[in-house]
Structure 1
Amino acid sequence: MGTNKLEIPVGFIWRYYPFRMPDQSQAAGQIVLSGTIHILLQFDVCEEIRLDRLRDLLSAPTLQQPALKHPAPGYVRYKRPPVVEPTEPLVLEGGERLEGEIKYYDYGVVSVLLHLTFSDSWETLIALASRWAWEIDFASHASDIVRRRLHLAASALVKPYTDWLSEDYLIVHIHHITGSLDAPDLIARYGSQIAQVVRGDTLALSSHERQEVLQSTISYYPTDLAVIGWNAAFLYDTPAGAEAAIQLLEYANSQLLEFRHYDDLLTKVLDTVYDSFEQRTGIFSGFRRAGSANRLHTVLLEVMELTEHADNAIKFLSDMFAARLYRLAAAKVGVPDYKDLVQQKIDTAEDLYRFMVDQFNQSRAFFLEFTVVVILIIELIYLFRGKGF
């Protein structure tokens, strides 16, 4: 983690809170939050990354297994742990200096995690979360970093993509709040502020919206709390305790990115197949669709293999809390929805493939029957002319 403190001038607060300036006389009694703010940027860069080859090219270590919330024998295990290396600092226009790291997953996703230590008030945190979530183009900065690194590791990439899909996610990790509150007290006293951080909104939310945000909470001990949203998460935990949660949020977002890619790929393939149905008609059209059927089947096999690869990249062995945290995070960012879309398109593609194969078989049977009839007609002609065999 970075060690630099965030210093926000009074003008910053005025710009994002023109309706209320902080009372300087109350500064001594102000609630102070300490922690780290993370911005997660992920890019789908290729079909597969050969991690062994990449490790040799970059001299980068493999990610260690995340720490657990409890001393149980179960743990979270990566099937192929990603390769990780520190990345160059990013300095924003406001002067904030973000340290970070970059991770390479074997299923073709590259993840950049930038972070900044924080110690200030709820008001400043809310303003900063909103600014980072909606106003700063982190993806542009991170993609430049990734392209420079991948230029050195091109030989480790399998079928690299020209255009990259991307995902971004904000993680606010607070490890200390004035008063050392437990999770229930934190929700009771500061639930409104937590909801604003998760939504990235500088204005207070309605009670209904606040309740909607705070429904997506999970805790293991009374002293820790995770509130998961679709584009941001709030973690209240020790640095060691938050490590596994951050990695699971990162993994859930990488899965979302992969399923988005498969959804786009299958949409294009199905559009091509539908176009072939419109363009090719006639008795022997089944023969002409044989090539399309073979290509469709090849893509189906690749998608199902890659989907299984991404879906099984991490295993939860007896750690039910980690599994529940992952399922909550995946549900909030939309992994099950995209997974269902991909599965529906796989089912549609399989139906189309069977239909095209049936058409090919019918065309082949018709051709064989037609050939037999032609041969019989020719033999009859020769027979009536007195030239039978």
Structure 2
Amino acid sequence: MLVLIQFDVCEEILLDKLRQIISASIVAQPALKHPTPSYIRFQRPPVIEPIEPLVLETGQTLQGEIKYYDYGVISVVFQLPFYGDWEMLIRLASHWVWDVDFAGNAGRIVRQKLEHARPALIKEYPEFLSEDYFIFHLREVTGRPSAGELVQIHGSRIAQVVRGDTMPLSDGECQEVLQSRISYYPDDLAVIGWNAAIVYDTTTGAETAIQLLEYANSQLLEFRHYDDLLSKQLDSAYDSLEGGTGILARWRMARSATRLYTVLLEVVELTERADNAIKFLSDMFAARLYKLAASKVGVPDYKDLVKQKIDTAENLYRFMVDQFNQSRAFFLESTVVIILVIELIYLFLGKPF
């Protein structure tokens, strides 16, 4: 079982500089299920650093590691081997999802690590957004059922684990959970929910699903940050529009428009970087798996929100610039008229201007 806790800490992490600060290794490329040479590739593979085991109040000891992504996300991964029946797994899943403060434990670890890694951070944020996700990796199931048999026999239990619920779910809710499943071979399965997933596969085969679930959640975190940042800038711009119509107010509006456009360019650049961080080379199954994972955790929804706010910001920026240009033109025209009036007065008085 794995717990992923991710934090958006800054705009960018200089990975080359980070490697000079800590003893870290580049994450191995995830091994795909295909016998073909296609694979998933990071443009800039994250840097990995091992961390001390986490001991829970129950006495369970979780091994962990921390990953630094170049687009400013830090991912803490805890892992706990599990042996038992379905009922034990259901109880443990519910306890982990709802009762254990993994984010608090991971947050303390991240802040300790950042004390040393800070020289490699670009524009560190004062507050960190976070996301957590739970992956229950089933390597062996009694009877070694196929994916279809596993769903048929244990579908309701799978749904409980994914939902983190100890009570049996309705048939409709079970079907809702099980609709979000994907398989490549007859003996593998991934059932993906918004907060947790079950992966039934070998250790090597599960690496792709785990890596893509981690990447999808990091993208969700990034788009949440962009959405919040744009909301604040749009509010500030609207306040400047309501600040009056005088000359000084229009000059303040120009400064606000400049700040808005600067943030807009930064968001567009950072969005492209997050979108292009990983590539799927000739592997359609991995691409479909990522699309399903991203859809379930909410990446497309936040991405659409960010796009809408980018469009709004662009329109607002153009309106503010037009308002400023009109004010400046009026000021210049008024200045010319005043000069002409003064010249006429001096002309009628027979005095040189």
Q: How far apart, CA to CA, are the structure 2 residues paired with 1:72 and 1:385? A: 95
Matched, 1:73 2:32: no
Q: TM-score, normalised by structure 2?
A: 0.98
Match of 2:304 in 1: 340
Q: How does 1:320-359 map to 2 (within 5 A)?
A: 320-359=284-323
1:205 maps to which of 142, 150, 169: 169
Match of 2:252 in 1: 288
Q: How far apart, CA to CA, are the structure 2 residues paired with 1:140 and 1:285? A: 45
Match of 2:62 in 1: 98
Q: How far apart, CA to CA, are the structure 2 residues paired with 1:288 and 1:387? A: 40
Paired residues of 1:284 and 1:363 also in contact (CA < 8 A): no
Matched, 1:51 2:1: no
Q: Secondary structure at the match of 2:80?
A: strand
Q: How far apart, CA to CA, are the structure 2 residues paired with 1:135 and 1:326? A: 28
Q: Secondary structure at the match of 1:372?
A: helix
Match of 1:176 in 2: 140
Match of 1:279 in 2: 243
Deviation at 1:161, TM superposition (A): 1.5
Deviation at 1:194, TM superposition (A): 0.3
Q: How far apart, CA to CA, are the structure 1 residues paired with 2:55 and 2:200? A: 26
Match of 2:327 in 1: 363
2:87 maps to which of 116, 123, 128: 123
Deviation at 1:288, TM superposition (A): 2.6
Matched, 1:135 2:96: no
Q: How far apart, CA to CA, are the structure 2 residues paired with 1:163 and 1:365? A: 43
Question: What do the CA deviations read for 1:18-43 (whole angstroms, capped 9, x no partner)?
Answer: xxxxxxxxxxxxxxxxxxx1011001
The count of aligned residue pairs is: 353
Q: Match of 1:356, as an amino acid?
A: M
Q: How does 1:22-41 map to 2 (within 5 A)?
A: 37-41=1-5
Question: What do the CA deviations read for 1:333-364 (whole angstroms, capped 9, x no partner)?
Answer: 00000011111111111111000100111011
Matched, 1:156 2:156: no
Q: How does 1:133-282 map to 2 (within 5 A)?
A: 133-282=97-246
The gaps in structure 2 that reach 5 residues or longer are none
Q: Match of 1:216, as an amino acid?
A: S
Q: How does 1:302-317 map to 2 (within 5 A)?
A: 302-317=266-281
Paired residues of 2:243 and 2:249 also in contact (CA < 8 A): no
Q: Secondary structure at the match of 1:180?
A: coil
The gaps in structure 1 that reach 5 residues or longer are 1-36
Paired residues of 1:286 and 1:362 also in contact (CA < 8 A): no
Q: Secondary structure at the match of 2:128?
A: strand
Q: How far apart, CA to CA, are the structure 2 residues paired with 1:202 and 1:305? A: 44
Q: Match of 2:109, as an amino acid?
A: I
Cα RMSD, aligned residues only = 1.0
